[in-house]
Structure 1
């Protein structure tokens, strides 16, 4: 028997998509566009889209600002999750999370392993909750974004947001 995601209740989730990159712009941000396209195709709303430099203070300030937006349910970041000196997204987000979803990173790396092999160990994908907002952070590669969105985020997002509303 194949495991099934939680049923989608038809609830529309309001999202912010944030690309963390020192080099991308709206025209070259393929991964940010994939996230937005997949969300819209699943009948969710992208209320905010931004590109930020990979600066921990700027990332944390953006999370603080977005967390005060009562319309938003989910913040989806991409980029800056590796171990290069400029990859600081994980560090900035992980310090703020009030609750973590360790299974997200674990499953993402497991699924990535089947696509890219042992290189998956370098991913610091993370998810959790801050100020009643669900936060996901994916690597910046388009393949990683598609994998995380299709296999993990979209199948569970409505259920997780619903749990935060209880």
Structure 2
């Protein structure tokens, strides 16, 4: 079973938060604020925060900019993961991914099923890696952000989490770029 190894030192990651919405402002962004509160409360650093419209190209461009920034380790977006015509965040993420973390969406669905039952089927939460940066797309509700952070990301972004975590393999994410 998973656990925190208290003999190890916590390593903070630098996380950018992106809210995808045609209608929210920073003051009204409860989902983004939920993520900011949780990540900073856990000891991580807020590297950047933005709100963008549901425009695939703009979202992908912002993700690429953050992937290229050596001061950002993780990007978490909220919003635009549903099934309606304007929900293009998942497609924008996949435009950027080098590798998809297939099990992230599966585990998120399992967590969601416990909270909202079969309504979890409407989420297309996803995760991936590009340029040595982790990227996660979460639904736009504060509850979904809370669940994803509390049940998945807080553990996988904690170096002390055992048996394994995302932070310990972070230095190797871009090793293919260093091979000769």
TM-score range for the pair, normalised by the shorter chain length: over 0.9
Q: Which residue is equivalent to 2:166?
A: 160
Q: Which segment is superposed worse, 32-41 or 151-160?
A: 151-160
In the alignment, the residues of structure 2 paired with residue 40 and residue 76 of structure 1 have an alpha-carbon distance, to the nearest angstrom, of 13
Normalised TM-score (structure 1): 0.94
Structure 1 segments unaligned to the other structure (5+ residues): none
Where has structure 1 moved over 2 Å in runs of 4 or more?
5-9
Normalised TM-score (structure 2): 0.87
Counterpart of 1:27 in 2: which secondary structure? Answer: helix
Q: Which residue is equivalent to 2:10?
A: 10
CA-to-partner distance for each residue in 1:35-94, whole Å, 9 max, x for gaps?
000001100000101001010000010011111110110000000000000000001102
1:5-154 matches, within 5 Å, as 5=3, 7=5, 9-154=9-154
In the alignment, the residues of structure 2 paired with residue 155 and residue 71 of structure 1 have an alpha-carbon distance, to the nearest angstrom, of 21
Structure 2 segments unaligned to the other structure (5+ residues): 159-164, 173-180
In the alignment, the residues of structure 2 paired with residue 90 and residue 122 of structure 1 have an alpha-carbon distance, to the nearest angstrom, of 13
Question: Between Structure 1 and Structure 2, how many residues are aligned?
Answer: 164
Greater Cα radius of gyration, structure 1 or 2: 2
Q: Which segment is superposed worse, 73-82 or 94-103?
A: 94-103
**RMSD (Å), alpha carbons:** 1.3
In the alignment, the residues of structure 2 paired with residue 84 and residue 124 of structure 1 have an alpha-carbon distance, to the nearest angstrom, of 11
Counterpart of 2:157 in 1: which secondary structure? Answer: helix
Give the C-alpha shift of residue 111 in structure 1: 1.1
Q: Which residue is equivalent to 2:162?
A: none
Counterpart of 1:140 in 2: which secondary structure? Answer: coil
Give the C-alpha shift of residue 5 in structure 1: 4.7
Aligned 8 A contact 1:21 1:80 in 2: yes
Counterpart of 2:26 in 1: which secondary structure? Answer: coil
